């Protein structure tokens, strides 16, 4: 039997060296067919120079490995490409490579970064590492199978040195970080929340003035779950049936946004559309129910509100992350919850028919705006680590 | 039982469906009509250009807004409700 396909829910964030505009750490994610690749690179020094080194390193490794090159080739390419630092006479950037297949196979190659932390069932699992000589660099390689709900955490040495020479003589130190991770690792914690908790501690230890670029990256293995969202009536009526069939035969969660759109789905499937009369929130139109569909909402206004919620989540600082709860019952909150928490991938079926009602000067929403709304929504979703695709009709 | 449908689609929502539903709910209660009418919400009824769309039975009422909701209820909704409930009953329910 084929194993459950996995989705890698990944997030990273960085704190810049105090006074620098650019970060000397760089994380590169690539989502490919059947694999997820993450590269964390930490360039020598800080500021522009470090940023260039880290960007080149992470980009070259990620691109080459995603195209099927081996680790030796990728490392040799970096060694001969990186500019040599005029002060120190060396070209140097550390890196950690994590490649996870959607069946849970994990390959890790680490060079001079703090060792990756691997958590399974709330406990830390030791990883067997073997040493590999790659063009004179000592790279540690490990291979293992990870399972659903396992979490992989990477961080740069700025995290290890947090507070050095000021609050703490020796900095935060690796063992203490691991302990902190273990204490914060509650079941169901989102990768971004863990990342923010760690960085918020780092920032406190540095007393808001980080002495080194600090980056944390967390990856959680989740069962793959797709949400298909039909929004807007197709341009030509003949397409109605095929788009609705595409929605109704899709795996995972099904969502319909838009009044006219939900009436089309009701007509094609022959199921009754029941619009709720209860306003959970007077600012958001009520939802409806339709057999076989997980959520039916009004269109543009609900989507606009959903974007606001997501933007709030993406833009708030770590201090407020805990306070945003998705426990309301209005259409926008329910939509956000399905897209953000219940699914790992979102597929939009976007109809481009013009709604005559929206051509009315009293209506602040035009068709162009509607298509832009979907684009904005998918951008915000991508920021939270979802993979998003859009199909137009 | 007569259905009163109020549109809660995007366009009507922006014009104030919420207030109309609230007003109608209160008036139905005040007039003791809970057993005679069913207040329902509906997505777009295709008459977006003419105010908040309302229909009573199959009969459309146009240009409803939150300002005139109470007036419309007494001058237009109620007469249709009375006519429909008295006209629909004789065949099956009389005697």
Classify residue A393 by its DSSP letter: -
Cβ separation B41–A276 shorter than 8 A: yes
CB-CB neighbors (< 8 A) of B66 in chain A: none
Classify residue A316 by its DSSP letter: S
Which of B37, B40, B43, B51 to mutate: most A Cβ within 10 Å? B43
ipTM of the complex: 0.71
Contact with chain A for residue B50, Cβ under 8 A: no
pLDDT (average), residues B24-47: 86
Looking at residue B95, its pLDDT comes to 39
CA Rg value for chain A: 24
Cα–Cα–Cα angle for A213, A191, A22, nearest 5°? 20
> B25: nearest CA in chain A?
A277
> What is the Cα–Cα distance from B41 to B24, expressed in whole angstroms?
12
CB-CB neighbors (< 8 A) of B4 in chain A: none
> What is the Cα–Cα distance from A279 to B24, expressed in whole angstroms?
14
Give Cα separations from A356 to A87, A158, A233, A286, A361 (angstroms).
66, 56, 12, 22, 11
Classify residue A388 by its DSSP letter: E
Looking at residue A188, its pLDDT comes to 74
> What is the Cα–Cα distance from A210 to A307, expressed in whole angstroms?
32
* Closest among B52, B35, B38 to B3, alpha carbons compared: B38
Looking at residue A196, its pLDDT comes to 86
Residues 65-94 of B with CB under 8 A from A: none
Phi, psi for A303 (deg, rounded to 5): -65, -40
Looking at residue A248, its pLDDT comes to 92
Looking at residue A55, its pLDDT comes to 92
Q: What is the pTM of this model?
A: 0.66
Contact with chain A for residue B29, Cβ under 8 A: no
How does pLDDT run along chain A (393 residues), one tens digit per residue? 445 688 888 888 899 888 888 899 999 988 888 889 999 999 887 888 889 889 999 999 999 998 988 888 888 888 778 777 666 767 678 899 999 998 889 999 999 899 999 999 878 889 999 998 887 788 899 999 999 889 999 999 899 999 887 788 788 989 999 999 998 888 778 788 889 889 999 999 998 888 889 999 999 998 888 899 999 889 888 889 999 999 999 888 999 998 889 999 999 999 888 888 888 788 888 899 899 899 999 888 899 889 988 888 777 654 455 455 566 788 888 898 888 877 888 999 999 887 665 655 555 555 567 788 899 999 988 888 788 999 999
> What is the Cα–Cα distance from A131 to A286, expressed in whole angstroms?
60
> What's the CATH code, domain B2-93?
3.40.30.10
The four Cα atoms B56, B58, B62, B65 give a dihedral, to 10 degrees, of: 30
Domains of chain A: 6-223 (3.60.40.10), 226-392 (no CATH)
Tell me the domain boundaries of chain B.
2-93
Which of B15, B23, B48 to mutate: most A Cβ within 10 Å? B48
Size of interface A-B (CB pairs under 8 A): 65
Share of chain B above pLDDT 70, in %: 91
Looking at residue A193, its pLDDT comes to 82
- DSSP state string for A27-72: EEEEEETTEEEEEEEEESSSSHHHHHHHHHHHHHHHHHHHTT--HH
Contact with chain A for residue B15, Cβ under 8 A: yes
Looking at residue A1, its pLDDT comes to 41
> What is the Cα–Cα distance from B10 to A386, expressed in whole angstroms?
28
């Amino acid at each position: 039997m084929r194993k459950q396909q996995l989705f890698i829910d990944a997030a990273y964030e960085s704190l810049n060296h105090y006074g620098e505009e650019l970060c000397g750490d760089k994380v590169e994610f690539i989502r490919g067919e059947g694999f997820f690749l993450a590269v964390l690179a930490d360039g020598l020094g800080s500021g522009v120079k470090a940023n260039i080194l880290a960007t080149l390193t992470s980009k070259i490794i990620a691109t080459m490995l995603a195209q099927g090159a081996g680790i030796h080739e990728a490392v040799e390419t970096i060694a001969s490409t990186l500019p040599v630092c005029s002060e120190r006479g060396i070209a140097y950037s550390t890196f950690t490579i994590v490649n996870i297949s959607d069946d849970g196979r994990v390959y890790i190659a680490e060079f001079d970064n703090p060792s990756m932390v691997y958590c399974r069932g709330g406990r830390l699992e030791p990883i067997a590492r073997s040493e590999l000589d790659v063009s004179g660099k000592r790279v540690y390689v490990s291979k293992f199978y990870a399972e659903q709900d396992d979490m992989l955490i990477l961080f740069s040495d700025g995290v290890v040195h947090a507070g050095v020479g000021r609050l703490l003589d020796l900095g935060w130190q690796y063992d203490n970080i691991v302990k902190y991770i273990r204490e914060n690792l509650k079941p169901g914690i989102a990768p971004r929340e863990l990342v923010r908790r760690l960085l918020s501690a780092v920032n406190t230890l540095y007393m808001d003035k980080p002495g080194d670029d600090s980056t944390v990256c967390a990856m959680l293995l989740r069962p793959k779950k797709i949400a298909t969202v039909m929004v807007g009536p197709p341009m030509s009526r003949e397409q109605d049936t095929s788009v609705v069939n595409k929605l109704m035969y899709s795996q995972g969660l099904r969502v319909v946004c838009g009044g006219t759109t939900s009436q089309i789905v009701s007509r094609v499937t022959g199921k009754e559309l029941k619009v709720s009369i209860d306003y959970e929130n007077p600012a958001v139109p009520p939802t409806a129910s339709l057999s076989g569909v997980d959520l039916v909402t009004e269109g543009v206004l609900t989507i606009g509100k959903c974007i606001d919620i997501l933007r709030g989540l993406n833009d708030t600082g770590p201090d407020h992350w805990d306070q945003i709860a998705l426990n309301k019952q209005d259409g926008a909150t329910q939509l956000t919850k399905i897209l953000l928490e219940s699914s790992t991938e979102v597929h939009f079926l976007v109809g481009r028919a013009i709604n005559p009602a929206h051509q009315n000067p009293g209506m602040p929403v035009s068709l162009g705006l509607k298509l832009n709304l979907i684009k904005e929504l998918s951008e915000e979703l991508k920021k939270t680590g979802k993979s998003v695709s859009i199909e137009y009709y | 039982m007569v259905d009163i449908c109020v549109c809660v689609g995007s366009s009507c929502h922006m014009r104030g469906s919420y207030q109309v539903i609230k007003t109608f709910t209160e008036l139905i209660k005040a007039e003791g009509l809970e057993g005679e009418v069913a207040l329902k919400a509906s997505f777009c009824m295709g008459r977006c250009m003419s105010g908040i769309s309302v229909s009573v039975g199959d009969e459309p009422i146009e240009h409803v807004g939150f300002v005139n909701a109470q007036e419309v209820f007494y001058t237009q909704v109620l007469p249709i409700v009375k006519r429909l409930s008295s006209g629909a009953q004789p065949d099956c329910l009389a005697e």
